[in-house]
Amino acid sequence: MEEETYISVDIEAAGPIPGEYSMLSIGACVVGHVESNFYVELKPVNGNYDEQALQVAGLPLSYLWEHGTDPAVAMADFERWIGEVTPPGNMPVFVAFNAPFDWMFTHCYFLRFLGRDPFGVSGLDIKAFYMGLVGSDWGGTSKRRIDKRFLPDRPHTHHALDDAVWQAEVFENLLAFLRARLDGSE
């Protein structure tokens, strides 16, 4: 069986769907080794935006047009970093809090700019993992309702790297709880 390397990924975007709106930034870190991380701000692919999304991200399009990394370069750098932190024989696993949103943007960009996605066609959703682990309903998986013992002692900032680290720590806490339960100590 192939070993897995869990990589926490968070993105900020100019709107709710890829293609029509740009991905603005990507933050990622290795679960269990958050000091091994990646961050990039991207040049927009178009001028479309949702005002609320830009306010949440805190990244003005005018700034990104001038200072953002070309998306093809950003995705190649991200793929290279994933390869560097994933040991030979391991499979990189995309992990996010509300994975469908973050994954759909990264997947779209990987395919559009590189023609491939190192994560493949799936991602591990922390919200769904939590739901199954503790027997919560879907409404109980929001950041404000998740059991406090699993939350890290850091704010959720909407900066992609900060939030990737936050997510990684939530997932580490959930995995520790699962392992303790399996060992009979929980």
Domain of 8: which CATH number?
3.30.420.10
Q: Starting from the edge strand earliest in sequence, which strands make up the sheet with 3-13, in order?
A: 33-41, 23-30, 3-13, 90-96, 124-125
- Kindly tell me if the per-residue pLDDT of 125 is higher than 60: yes
- Kindly tell me if the per-residue pLDDT of 1 is higher than 60: no
Count Cβ neighbours within 10 Å for each residue of 121-133 and write b for 16 or more, e otherwise: eebbbbbebbbee
Least confident of 35-39, 72-76, 139-143: 139-143
Question: What is residue 183's predicted lDDT score, i.e. its pLDDT?
Answer: 83
Residues with a known catalytic role: 158
* Structure confidence at residue 66 as a pLDDT band (50, 70, 90): very high
- Kindly tell me if the per-residue pLDDT of 146 is higher than 60: yes
Query: What domain range includes position 132?
Result: 3-183
Gyration radius of the chain's alpha carbons: 17
- The fraction of the chain above a pLDDT of 90, given in percent, is 86
Q: How many structural domains does the chain have? A: 1
Question: What is residue 67's predicted lDDT score, i.e. its pLDDT?
Answer: 98
Q: What is the arithmetic mean of pLDDT over 112-141?
A: 95
Q: What is the arithmetic mean of pLDDT over 132-151?
A: 91
* Structure confidence at residue 155 as a pLDDT band (50, 70, 90): confident
Question: What is residue 186's predicted lDDT score, i.e. its pLDDT?
Answer: 62
